[in-house]
Copies of this chain bind each other. A is one copy, B any other.
Amino acid sequence: MNLDNIRIVLVNTNTPGNIGGVARAMKNMGLHRLYLVEPRQYPHEEATWRAASAGDVLDGAVVTETLDEAIADCQFVVGTSARGRRIPWPLLDPRKCAERIDGIADDQQVAILFGREDRGLKNEELQACNLHLNIPTSEDYSSLNLAMAVQVVCYELRMLLAADSVPATEDAEWDAPFTTREQMELFYEHLEQTLIDVEFLNPTAPRQLMARLRRLYSRVRLDEMELNILRGILTETQKRIGKR
């Protein structure tokens, strides 16, 4: 997928601040091509302020008088839509939609359309689309802010690109090797002896103390550096009480 082949098209945006918010959301996720179809007020200082460090996206925005001009050269057009339109259309959530675009935006031009803040896209605009996109929401309040909707869609595109660069597990970027079973057993022996030395553990009535400590350190999964720290504490403790 080449994000440079994907344009975000805002149709008849009413609030200039939203245009700025969209520009920032796009740049944060690596998109740059913004089209504005007949915006009510643009350029506007509120747009510039909300764009923050995405002024270059605003500067490069293409303003057109009609939707047709904005998407004439596109091979694939997606329109954001509320659900329940009269004529059903292929409808996907942002994740599935991003997966569809992934295969197309290698070498084709893709447009993603976002409608007016209050009324969305008109039926005839939606009928220019190959696919409709719906962002899942709470039934209590389903109207997303325009820039938020763009953020979610661009985030899903980014997630596809980032699949390799974001850690897939919590351990991926750890800076020390995790301990082996053998190291842990030596630690438990050392811990148990120290607890006996400090007379916290009575070897003739040990109860479940060591079992509980094993469960604790198993869950946390120590790395070697942490293990060295703990063993250092035990060794020093033993020295202090004259057992080593």
Contact = CB atoms under 8 A, between A and B. Distances in A.
Given A21-B145, A151-B151, A175-B88, A29 B134 contact: no
Contacts of A170: 90-92, 131
Interface stretch (A159-167, A189-197, A198-206, A230-238): A159-167
Given A148-B151, A159-B136, A173 B88 contact: yes
A112 interface: no
Contacts of A147: 148
B27 A136 contact: no
Contact of A159 (B25, B95, B161): B95
Interface residues of A, number: 51
Question: A53, A143, A155, A175 — which one has the most chain B CB atoms within 10 A of its CB?
Answer: A155
Contacts of A131: 170
A100 B3 CA distance: 30
- A-B CB proximity, top 10 nearest: A90-B170, A30-B138, A136-B162, A93-B166, A27-B141, A148-B151, A88-B175, A28-B137, A152-B155, A136-B166
24 contacts: A21-B145, A21-B148, A24-B141, A28-B148, A29-B138, A30-B137, A30-B140, A52-B143, A53-B141, A91-B170, A92-B167, A92-B170, A93-B162, A93-B167, A96-B168, A96-B169, A131-B170, A134-B166, A135-B155, A136-B158, A136-B161, A147-B148, A148-B151, A151-B152
